[in-house]
Amino acid sequence: MRLLNKISAYLNVTFCSDKLSMDRSIPDTRHAECRSVHYDDDLPSASVVIIFTDEAWTPLLRTVHSVVNRSPLHLLHEVILLDDFSQREELKGKLDEYIKRFGGIVKLIRKKERHGLIRAKLAGAHEATGEVIVFLDSHCEANEGWLEPLLARIKEKRTAVLCPIIDYISAETMQYSGDANVNAVGGFWWSLHFRWDSIGKAERDRRKSAIEPVSCKRCNYLAYRRENMVWMCGGSIEFIPCSHVGHIFRAGHPYNMTGPGGNLDVHGTNSKRLAEVWMDDYKRLYYLHRPDLKTKDVGDLSERKALRKKLKCKSFKWYLDNVIPHKFIPDEGVVGYGALRNPNSGLCLDTLQRDEKSTITLGIFACQTGGSSAQVFSLTKSGQLRREITCASVLRSREDGPKGTIRMPSCDDNNDKWSHERGQMKHQATGFCLDVDGLKSGDDIVARTCVADKASQIWVFVKF
């Protein structure tokens, strides 16, 4: 079913995209102030590298058209299309013929075996001869004036790694939309999966203008792009508000991401390599989410560790303390952390795999031997019962009587206090305690009036 959904999403994007001109007009989503900025004539030249594997024809070529059409020719040194072993027939001879219309500025390089995204990017960088390398996905549209602000900032600050503002292109309709303001930047879960985070107050207060670069101390894609390496090794990351690039956000990929046999955990392999090389002792928090990978062989890491030493990169603790001090660390500054277990029933507090991008209701599930990421909770010294970015509160309705359900809104919007007293997990505002009485695995957890020594209200933290 998942494969069918991916195929359906891919076909829908192709169907909608094929109806549109390669040179279609899109709305200029930049802030009004960006349009009056004057840039130096002697900016460095750019090699734009686009990696693709079995990309749909029109999204790929519209990416190229948009780059060529909306980039000053004296700044666009070349566009490198790197084919990471595509199998689709139209991406072979037909593509070679098509790019001739660009007069040699678009170059096509083909790999004879699949490299994967990171190795393919390195190969593309090796081929690039411009002064600055810009990587774009193969289903993007560069907007007006997208390149100049990136190059101008690189000229000012060579150690910076820059990101344009990513506008939204609907996979269903191909409609292009964007916001002139920077509202969110990339972040990461301790499982090393990506998430969006709001810009911190300190950064909002620091900026004097809406078009000033956003210092992305919260731009941490980690397992995907290794942004922590940039900070730890002397660089910085910034979003450039005057540079906008649209991106098709689709449900699946047109290519296999699980290896030749379809059974490889690519994210697991890459994220474990990152954890082992760069996270020092904090890799323990990654393994809270991926205990299955503790003994997995992910290849020789000696070269990467030697590179870190050669570059004199700082520790991961320095990164946490100085770059992302807001990042919650589940086992520091806490009264307890791990699985919250009711010994009498063998049930643990659990997210029930509900999507934590929105406010969820907590449940209970059989405690998992060896640990489960859905059962990792912390009770902080300030009284928050929480996960990474969400904190527990009691939702009580008139129909509930003396009980309530446990909701998990953002910690930014929730200051509820809890205490762990005589084994009971007590909500201070209501006086209710977590209670599994009459519940079974998979049910929503409830909070009821606290009763001293009631077995269904006794909880202990179990460390993995």
CA distance 431 to 425: 10
Q: 136: phi > 0 → left, psi -120 to 50 → alpha, else beta; which?
A: beta
DSSP 346: T
pLDDT in tens, 407-453: 999 998 898 999 999 999 999 999 999 999 999 999 999 999 999 99
Residue 218 has pLDDT above 70, yes or no: no
Instruction: Write the single-letter amino acid at 133.
Output: I
Stated pTM of the model: 0.85
Query: How far is CA 319 from each of CA 289, 309, 418, rounded to the nearest angstrom?
Result: 21, 16, 30
pLDDT in tens, 84-138: 999 999 999 999 999 999 999 999 999 999 999 989 999 999 999 999 999 999 9
Structure-token pair, residue 23: 């040179």
Show Cβ contacts of residue 122 under 8 Å, excluding neighbours closer than 6 positions.
none
CATH code, residues 334-462: 2.80.10.50
Domain extent listing, the chain: 2-184+196-210+237-249, 334-462
Q: Which CATH architecture does the domain made up of 2-184+196-210+237-249 adopt?
A: Alpha-Beta Complex (3.90)
